């Protein structure tokens, strides 16, 4: 048996953590970890540790022992036992910002309820129709503002497009001034998510908490407007549908929306950014992508692509999958052992952090041939149809919100 709970009375001294190191007192390897994940090559720290200790190793992160994994089998084991042997666990700054009722951080029955609500909201046919049209309208509007040969900062453009879409779809807000305001709030919010939790002016955590208050106030005002107006209209967004169809207290509704805003905005921005970058480096893929979409548009005669058109784009889906794999949209997850767990010859003690480092698996030559190359055609190979980019398995990413349908195995 690969894993089992430690039997009652069994001495933990018979078992041991995976090999590793303690690092510096108190801070352990936290600084090395942060420097790596914030760099242009996030797996750097993990790769160095794997060379010394193997694909499953231990170290000290955020003041606690952590078991870090670049092993696909163990990562799958952790995700398959979500809620049973492991639960989500994040630094205090992150927990405080996403809220106690956040779909990302809640546990047990409340987690299942919120995930169910999110899935149902995203499956609504009206939402799919409006969302797909809105995406194309926003992109055409954005492109029309560019001048010939204008130099743009792609990251800023992608971030503005993403927040425009998310605020419109979730809150029903389309005013450019309000969208720009929310974009600034979210910039401050995101900067504090993994910061040192010092709530004093001048620290990122303090600025982020102030931004959270302003975002929550915006959401609460929108809730008041919806209640005064009665039944939600077609353009009232997910919030309107949530108030109409679900019985959640206002603070839970606000946390729910802020979680979707955060997760959807971050994943959308990075996915667009990396997709554009990778496609410009691969003219053959760009041509095949455009040919696929142009052929659908010419056959339907419609100005905009429809939901049926999107579902009939196999190569576009391959580009999405490969972007998620190589771009590292969800680099790592953080879990906590709910009890003492034996895995192979190791023990993971109760309360220990468990960190499936997804990016290390995505870039592993033993898992993907030419792992560092952008190759969307790999997803057309039968053997890869059951090997998903693990980022797509992370509920934190809310990739389902983008209706990308990345293979999840």
Q: Is the pLDDT of residue 7 over 70?
A: no
Q: What is the pLDDT of residue 48?
A: 93
Which of 35-39, 51-55, 330-334, 365-369 has the least mean pLDDT? Answer: 35-39
Instruction: Give the helix ranges, DSSP H, for 246-362.
Output: 250-280, 283-300, 307-311, 314-327, 358-362
What CA dihedral angle connects 399, 338, 71 and 190, to 10 degrees? 40
Which of the pair, 398 or 319, is modelled with greater confidence?
Answer: 319
Mean pLDDT of 143-160: 87
Residues 339 and 352: their CA atoms lie apart, in Å, by 9
128 Cα distance to chain centroid: 20
pLDDT band at 408 (very low <50, low <70, confident <90, very high): very low
Q: Minimal CA–CA distance to 26: which of 68, 64, 67?
A: 64
* CA–CA gap between residue 285 and residue 315 (Å, rounded): 9
**263-317: per-residue pLDDT in tens?**
778 788 888 999 999 999 999 999 999 999 888 876 766 778 888 888 889 999 9
Give me the residues paired with residue 61 across strands.
64
71 — pLDDT class (breaks 50, 70, 90): very high
By CB atoms closer than 10 A (0-12, 13-18, 19+), residue 164 is buried
Per-residue pLDDT, averaged over 334-348, amounts to 92
Degrees, nearest 5: CA angle 389-343-391: 15
CB 206 within 8 A of CB 198: yes
Q: What is the pLDDT of residue 404?
A: 32
Higher-confidence residue: 149 or 108? 149
Across the chain, what does the average pLDDT equal? 81
Q: How far apart are CA 408 and CA 394, in angstroms?
A: 10
What is the three-class DSSP state of 59? Answer: strand
- Provide the pLDDT for residue 126: 58
d(CA 328, CA 37): 10
CA distance linking residue 201 with residue 149, whole number of Å: 42
Please tell me the distance from the alpha carbon of residue 385 to that of residue 319, in angstroms, as a whole number. Answer: 14
Instruction: Please tell me the distance from the alpha carbon of residue 188 to that of residue 202, in angstroms, as a whole number.
Output: 12
For the chain, how are helix, strand and coil distributed in percent, rounded to 5?
55, 10, 35
SS3 124: coil
Supply the Cα-derived Rg of the chain in whole angstroms. 22
Asked if 366 and 47 count as a contact pair (C-beta separation under 8 A), the reply is no
For residue 61, the SS3 value is strand
User: In the beta sheet, which residues pair with residue 59?
Assistant: 66
Most confident of 112-116, 122-126, 136-140, 260-264: 136-140
Give 166-187 pLDDT, tens digit per residue.
Answer: 888 788 777 788 888 888 888 8
Give the pLDDT of residue 236.
Answer: 60
pLDDT attached to residue 374: 96
Q: Which of 90-99, 101-110, 382-391, 394-403 has the lowest mean pLDDT?
A: 394-403
Q: Across the strands, what pairs with 66?
A: 59, 353
State the sign of the Cα–Cα–Cα–Cα dihedral 204, 207, 211, 213: positive
Q: Which helix (H) or strand (E) holds 177?
A: helix 176-191
Instruction: Output the pLDDT for position 409.
Output: 31
* Cα angle, residue 216 at apex, residues 212 and 218 outer, rounded to 5°: 120
What is residue 283's predicted lDDT score, i.e. its pLDDT? Answer: 96
Distance set, CA 208 to CA 12, 113, 161, 202 (Å): 41, 28, 22, 11
Q: Where are the alpha helices (DSSP H) in 192-249?
A: 204-229, 237-245
């Amino acid at each position: 048996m690969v894993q089992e709970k430690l039997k009652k009375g069994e001495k933990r001294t018979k078992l041991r953590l995976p090999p590793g190191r303690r690092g510096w007192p108190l801070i352990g390897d936290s600084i090395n970890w942060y420097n790596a994940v914030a760099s242009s090559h996030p797996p750097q720290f993990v790769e160095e540790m794997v060379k010394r200790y193997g694909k499953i190793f231990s170290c000290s992160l955020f003041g606690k022992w952590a078991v870090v994994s670049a092993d696909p089998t163990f990562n799958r084991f952790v995700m398959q036992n979500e809620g049973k042997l492991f639960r989500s666990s994040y630094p205090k700054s992150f927990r405080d910002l996403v809220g106690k009722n956040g779909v990302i951080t809640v546990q047990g029955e409340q987690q299942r309820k919120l995930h169910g609500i999110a899935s149902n909201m995203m499956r609504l046919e009206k939402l799919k129709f409006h969302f797909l049209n809105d995406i194309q309208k926003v992109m055409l509007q954005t492109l029309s503002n560019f001048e010939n040969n204008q130099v743009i900062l792609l990251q800023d453009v992608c971030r503005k497009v993403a927040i425009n879409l998310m605020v419109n779809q979730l809150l029903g807000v389309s005013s450019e001034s309000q969208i720009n305001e929310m974009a600034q709030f979210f910039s401050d919010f995101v900067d504090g998510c993994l910061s040192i939790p010092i709530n004093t002016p001048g620290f990122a955590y303090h600025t982020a908490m102030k931004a959270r208050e302003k975002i929550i106030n915006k959401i609460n005002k929108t809730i008041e407007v919806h209640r005064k107006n009665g039944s939600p209209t077609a353009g009232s967004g997910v919030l309107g549908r949530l108030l109409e169809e679900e019985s959640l207290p206002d603070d839970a509704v606000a946390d729910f929306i802020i979680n979707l805003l955060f997760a959807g905005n971050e994943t959308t921005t990075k996915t667009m950014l990396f997709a554009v970058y990778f496609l410009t480096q691969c003219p053959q893929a760009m041509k095949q992508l455009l040919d696929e979409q142009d052929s659908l548009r010419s056959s339907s005669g419609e100005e905009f692509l429809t939901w049926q058109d999107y579902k009939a784009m196999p190569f576009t889906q391959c580009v999405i999958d490969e972007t998620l794999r190589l771009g590292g949209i969800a680099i790592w997850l953080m879990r906590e052992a709910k009890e003492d767990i034996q895995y192979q010859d190791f023990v993971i003690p109760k309360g220990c952090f468990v960190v499936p480092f997804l990016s290390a698996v995505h870039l592993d030559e033993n898992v993907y041939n030419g792992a560092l190359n952008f190759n969307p055609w790999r997803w057309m190979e039968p053997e890869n149809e059951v090997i998903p980019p693990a980022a797509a398995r992370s509920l934190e990413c809310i990739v389902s919100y983008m209706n990308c349908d990345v293979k999840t195995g």
